[in-house]
Amino acid sequence: MAIFAKLNFQGRVELDGNEYRACAFRNCVLIYNGGKVDVKFCSFENATLECTDAAARTLQSLGQNELLSLRRL
């Protein structure tokens, strides 16, 4: 896993396979495919989570096949 610490992110960000520590996500589309990801002490502003692949299939099986807005973790 790649480790990102105290960084600012914008735009599209692939989450899978990474660790994020004390990062800021602003005006982002966070892409989650269902793989391992670790997020701690991060902030989110105007961030949207887009689930694809295995993550999308899991949400569909739960009956929630829409994008999720992240206000704060």
| Domain spans, the chain | 2-70
Give 3's contacts (C-beta < 8 A, 6+ positions apart): 18, 19, 21
Amino acid residing at 65: N
The model's pTM is 0.77
Query: In terms of Cα–Cα distance, which of 10, 26, 28, 18 is closest to 67?
Result: 28
* Mean pLDDT value of segment 10-19: 97
Element containing residue 70 per DSSP (H, E):
strand 68-70
Amino acid residing at 34: G
**Span 42-72, pLDDT tens digits:** 999 999 999 888 887 777 776 654 445 444 4
